[in-house]
Amino acid sequence: MKKLMNATVALGLLLVSSSAAAAVCVEVDEERDNLAPAERQATKTMVEQALEGEDLNVARDNCTTTYTIYSLRLGNSVTANISGPEGSRTQKAHSLEELPETYNQITRALISGEEGQNAGVDRHNVTKKQSAPRRVLADNIYYLRLGYGLVAGGDIGNGPAFGFGWRYELDQFGIDISGFNFMFDNTDADDGLNWSLLRLGGLYFFDPVNNSTPYAGAALSYGWTGLSEEVATNDYNFYSGNGLQGELTAGYEFLRASTIRMFVEANAVLPFYTVDRTFNDDEDSKYAPTFTVSIGLGYDPDPNPVIEVYD
């Protein structure tokens, strides 16, 4: 019986020793931390609770692992820092009141090894800024463009091209909606015409925060194409067709930091239809793409400032 009791006591001491050996501690780097003493102690307690939430045994002494924290307050914001055997994490809290959620996030992310913008975030520790981030209202640009183009497929028809539209621009992406885009041959030959009734497209700006940037885009439009082909002196075949068209765009936009815009743009209209010969019973069709180069001027009549949607 005495041997059994001794074995039980020894096992208990072994378990206690093992538990103590696995304990972790939290220390504050007071040389870097600039919070008030009471705030510093509260922060330490919050991190200890976060570690306990990750199923770690937290103690105040006899620790084998130590996590070091410090907080840097600058104005209203506080930058939280934690380091341990797994590495280190840093994150800014918008205010001192958000410091508990911020430390909870970076502690959970450090222990789990999770990476990314939302590392360590759950439904209970999300901050106001994360739930309602800063947003900027996009620029509303109304524009006119004028240039020159050609219709291929028969005798090359070339002449002026023009149109008007609206762009809704974020920093890197934009929406382009335009209508009544014309390109027509204004010579005596009258060899070609393309007309887009409605055009819906998207733009990608390669240097989103710069005042000037190249861009590329793609669009879908509905339009009509006509062309002629001279088969003998003063003898022409005429072709026409209408339907959906794919459009590819490459350009360069200027003055993006102002309420006005200037851009230079090359555009290719690639119809999903062929143009058929008219005024003749013979079946004959051609593919007739249109190419234009134009200069555009735009204006934002109601520019929007950056707004914050949280307190």
Alpha carbons 29 and 156: distance in angstroms, whole number: 77
Angle at 104 between CA 101 and CA 110, to 5 degrees: 140
Domain 136-306 CATH (choose: 3.20.10.10, 2.40.160.20, 3.30.700.30, 3.40.50.300): 2.40.160.20
Residues 229-275 pLDDT 10s? 776 666 677 888 999 999 999 999 999 888 899 999 999 999 999 98
User: Would the pLDDT of 6 be above 70?
Assistant: no
For residue 297, the cross-strand partners are 144, 262
| Orientation angle between helical segments 37-53 and 99-112, nearest 10 degrees | 40
The pLDDT assigned to 265 comes to 96
Tell me whether residue 13 is exposed, middle or buried, using C-beta atoms within 10 angstroms of its C-beta: 0 to 12, 13 to 18, 19 or more.
exposed
The pLDDT assigned to 2 comes to 53
Q: Would you state the CATH architecture of domain 21-131?
A: 2-Layer Sandwich (3.30)
Same fold, 21-131 and 136-306: no
Higher pLDDT, 235 or 160: 160
Residue 282 — very low, low, confident or very high, per pLDDT cuts 50/70/90?
Answer: low
Domain limits, the chain: 21-131, 136-306
Higher pLDDT, 197 or 123: 197
Residues 60-115 pLDDT 10s? 888 999 999 999 999 989 999 999 998 999 999 888 888 898 999 899 899 888 88
